[in-house]
Amino acid sequence: MNFSTSPVLELRLPLWRSRFLIVLFFSGFAVLAGRAVYLQGWNDDFLRAKGESRYSRVIEVSANRGRILDRNGEALAVSTPVKSIWAIPGDVSFEPEKLVRLAQLLDLSKEDVRKRIDGAGVDFVYMKRQVPPEVADRIAELRIPGLGQSREYRRYYPGGEVMAHVLGFTGVDDSGQEGIELAFQKDLAGAAGSRRVIRDRRGQVVEDLESIRAAQEGRDLTLSIDAKIQSLAFSQLKAAIEQNRAKAGGVMVLDALTGEVLALANLPSYNPNNRSKLVGEQLRNRVLTDTFEPGSTMKPFTVALALELGKITPETVIQTSPGKLTVGSATISDAHPHGALSVEEVIQKSSNVGTAKIALGLEREDMWGMFHHAGFGTAPPVQFPGAVAGKLRPAKSWRPIEQVTMSYGYGLSVSLLQLARAYSIFARDGELVPVSFLKTNGPVSGERVLSPSTAIAMRRMLEMAASNGGTAPKAQIMGYRVAGKTGTAHKQEGGRYADRKYRASFVGLAPASNPRLVVAVMIDEPTAGKYFGGDVAAPVFSKVMEGALRLLGVVPDAPMKPIVMPPEGAEVQESI
């Protein structure tokens, strides 16, 4: 049989139709092949973007924060590497036992872990930051999909509470929050970098693709602070506060030649390495942010102005008898009547009446100008957050009684930093020194406020005040001549002066023959029985100044023989 002529195999459809279908199929394949070549060869951005959205990530590369060093190179703040544990909620899945273990390692409850993952409502969430590396390693061993880690740094402060108010601290994101850390944030922080990486489904980096931006490490900062002098100041302040059962206190040590702050200590303090129980009272940097009425520590500025204007000489006699002076409807008084006193003795005995009579011979505008040029009433020009201006009202608003009370430290307010800086005028032969918290390269020039002769004359008077015949014999140091002034002022409370609440202060300089350091001390509310600046603050000055001078190798300018103090109970009280 001839199959080729069989009617069953006879082709009833047109031949062009089958050929058309073949061409159609091949055309479709050609279009798909062309599209594939186009997408993967010439225009692959779309597919690349889709792939990268699932596996590619841009991660931040943390910059190492710069160290903070003391003037001798000792590390005061360093950054230690830690890890942040994060999650991509949609990718996270774990077995019950891994959930329990993860919660234990993160020091969280299981509910907290679940809440952060299930209730996040975002594509990324931090589970915990600043996790120690050894804990992070144990978390990585759990191999939980969607859980990842990134490197960051945690700040460590070896000095703890001793350096707290100088350095401040950083937050969880390693940015400065207080003190030097905040003031020099831009220099210390550097700039974070970024890299593009490929992560697997567990969130682990499996390929490092490229660097987008290199991290710029933070710059090291060398402070003016001397760690040994700082420790000395803190320990002596702490001992004085405990001994006098005081509420708070502050100490500042200033290099009169360079304007460098060698120490700044406050109490109460805190440990910046553990701030879980930190309260505002501990945070306050009282030396810079708290103001107070300085009391008798202002008297030298009133007397210096009168000397400068030629109104008096150191030998001019002022009659202070009977120890009281009425101005308008108010009466001021001395602690004890002194009779006729020379101007030198007015400072030595800290006479309110003597100072008031000198002030009444001055123009109020001149007094305001003297106080203003000494730095009172204006914020000190320092690179430190929170430094306050204090209060100094315009001269035109002063009444006669206010002019009198301001002459001996009531009616205006200052910070301890302002007071220490102002006394540099007497240490620097009439120049007001600029203050720096960074190490400098030697002596600096200051602003002329008084003539050298007036400053030297005032230094002699301040030396008398720190002698056995003055109000602060406890400020003396074996081997060094000391000059300084006490201050004891009632505290204001409820709009009036409290009867039994005081601030005791002492500001002094040494060696008096060629001053190198200025030390200012303030003790707030001593309650152990003694409250005069000569009893409470002057001993702190003596110990801090002595230790600092010896640490700096300053040559003694007095005989190395024991100091003989006045008999206990001898009259050294100042007028308040």
Q: Which of 296, 350, 415, 436 is catalytic?
A: 296
pLDDT at 121: 60
Residue that is last in its domain, among 194, 222, 250: 222
pLDDT category at 203 given cuts 50, 70, 90 is: low
Give the distance from CA 27 to its chain's centroid. Answer: 76
Greater confidence (248 vs 563) lies with 248
pLDDT at 495: 79
Q: How far is Cα 99 from Cα 113, in angstroms, rounded to an integer?
A: 8
Residue 160 counted as domain residue: yes
Asked whether the predicted pLDDT for residue 518 surpasses 90, the reply is yes
Average pLDDT of span 35-60: 64
Q: How far is Cα 98 from Cα 422, in angstroms, rounded to an integer?
A: 64
Asked whether the predicted pLDDT for residue 567 surpasses 70, the reply is yes
| Bond preceding residue 300 cis, omega within 30 of 0 | no
Q: How far is Cα 515 from Cα 456, in angstroms, rounded to an integer?
A: 11
Greater confidence (135 vs 549) lies with 549
386 & 354 share domain? yes
Residue 35 counted as domain residue: no
pLDDT at 52: 59
Q: Which of 4-8, 35-39, 74-78, 525-529 has the lowest mean pLDDT?
A: 4-8
189 & 334 share domain? no
- Strand ranges, E, within 393-526: 431-432, 447-448, 483-493, 496-510, 517-524
450 & 492 share domain? yes
Burial of residue 573, with CB atoms counted within 10 A of its CB: 0-12 exposed, 13-18 middle, 19 or more buried: middle
Given a contact cutoff of 8 angstroms between Cβ atoms, the answer to whether 131 and 140 are in contact is: no
Asked whether the predicted pLDDT for residue 342 surpasses 90, the reply is yes
237 & 274 share domain? yes
Asked whether the predicted pLDDT for residue 441 surpasses 90, the reply is no
Residue 171 counted as domain residue: yes
Average pLDDT of span 279-305: 93
Could you read off the pLDDT of 211-232 as tens digits, one per residue? Answer: 566 667 889 999 999 999 999 9
218 & 294 share domain? no
pLDDT category at 436 given cuts 50, 70, 90 is: very high
Given a contact cutoff of 8 angstroms between Cβ atoms, the answer to whether 558 and 480 are in contact is: yes
Choose the most confident range, by mean pLDDT, from 189-198, 234-243, 323-332, 496-505: 234-243
Cα–Cα distances in angstroms (integers) from residue 198 to residues 8, 151, 194, 210, in the given order: 63, 17, 13, 10
Q: How far is Cα 187 from Cα 181, in angstroms, rounded to an integer?
A: 9
Residue that is last in its domain, among 195, 222, 249: 222
517 & 421 share domain? yes
309 & 322 share domain? yes
Greater confidence (493 vs 286) lies with 286
Asked whether the predicted pLDDT for residue 35 surpasses 80, the reply is no
Residue that is last in its domain, among 222, 247, 271: 222
Asked whether the predicted pLDDT for residue 540 surpasses 70, the reply is yes
Asked whether the predicted pLDDT for residue 510 surpasses 80, the reply is yes
Asked whether the predicted pLDDT for residue 11 surpasses 70, the reply is no
Give the distance from CA 460 to its chain's centroid. Answer: 35
| Number of compact structural domains in the chain | 2
pLDDT at 498: 87
pLDDT category at 499 given cuts 50, 70, 90 is: confident
Residue 247 belongs to domain with CATH number: 3.40.710.10
pLDDT category at 107 given cuts 50, 70, 90 is: confident
pLDDT at 57: 60
Could you read off the pLDDT of 124-152 as tens digits, one per residue? Answer: 778 888 788 888 888 888 887 778 777 77
The region, left, alpha or beta by phi > 0 then psi within -120 to 50, assigned to residue 203 is left
Structure tokens at 392: 């100094």
> Which backbone phi and psi does 242 adopt, to 5 degrees?
-65, -45
pLDDT at 82: 83
What domain range includes position 338?
Answer: 227-552
Residue 426 counted as domain residue: yes
pLDDT category at 210 given cuts 50, 70, 90 is: low
Given a contact cutoff of 8 angstroms between Cβ atoms, the answer to whether 462 and 455 are in contact is: no
Look at strands 68-69 and 221-222 and give their pairing: parallel
444 & 514 share domain? yes
Q: Average pLDDT, whole number, for the chain?
A: 87
Q: Which of 180-189, 201-210, 347-356 has the lowest mean pLDDT?
A: 201-210
Asked whether the predicted pLDDT for residue 202 surpasses 60, the reply is no
Asked whether the predicted pLDDT for residue 410 surpasses 70, the reply is yes
Cα–Cα distances in angstroms (integers) from residue 215 to residues 148, 382, 423, in the given order: 21, 30, 45
Q: Around 547, how many Cα atoms within 13 Å sit in the side-chain half-sphere?
A: 21
Active site residue 18: no
Residue 1 counted as domain residue: no
Q: How far is Cα 362 from Cα 25, in angstroms, rounded to an integer?
A: 111
Give the distance from CA 344 to its chain's centroid. Answer: 39
pLDDT category at 85 given cuts 50, 70, 90 is: confident
Of the candidates 424, 428, 408, which has an alpha carbon nearest to the alpha carbon of residue 486?
408
Residue 125 counted as domain residue: no
pLDDT at 69: 97
Asked whether the predicted pLDDT for residue 51 surpasses 70, the reply is no
Average pLDDT of span 273-278: 84
Asked whether the predicted pLDDT for residue 54 surpasses 80, the reply is no
434 & 391 share domain? yes
Q: Find the angle CA(375)-CA(551)-CA(523) to the nearest 5 degrees.
A: 45
Contacts of residue 437, defined as CB under 8 A and 6 or more positions apart, other chains included, come to 166, 180, 183, 223, 224, 225, 260, 261, 382, 383, 384
Give the distance from CA 148 to its chain's centroid. Answer: 35
Count of positions (residues) in the chain: 576
pLDDT at 171: 86
Residue 143 counted as domain residue: no
pLDDT at 508: 97
371 & 483 share domain? yes
Residue 170 belongs to domain with CATH number: 3.90.1310.10
Could you read off the pLDDT of 443-485 as tens digits, one per residue? Answer: 899 999 999 999 999 999 999 999 999 999 999 999 999 999 9
Residue 255 counted as domain residue: yes
Q: Output b/e per residue, 526-552; b: 16+ Cβ within 10 A.
A: beeeebbbbbbbbbbbbbbbbbbbeee
Average pLDDT of span 97-113: 79
pLDDT at 108: 83
170 & 274 share domain? no
Asked whether the predicted pLDDT for residue 559 surpasses 60, the reply is yes
Q: Output b/e per residue, 405-418; b: 16+ Cβ within 10 A.
A: bbbbbbbbbbbbbb
pLDDT at 28: 79
Q: Output b/e per residue, 183-193; b: 16+ Cβ within 10 A.
A: bbbeebbbeeb
237 & 304 share domain? yes
Structure tokens at 206: 């499996």
In 3-state terms, what secondary structure has residue 310? coil
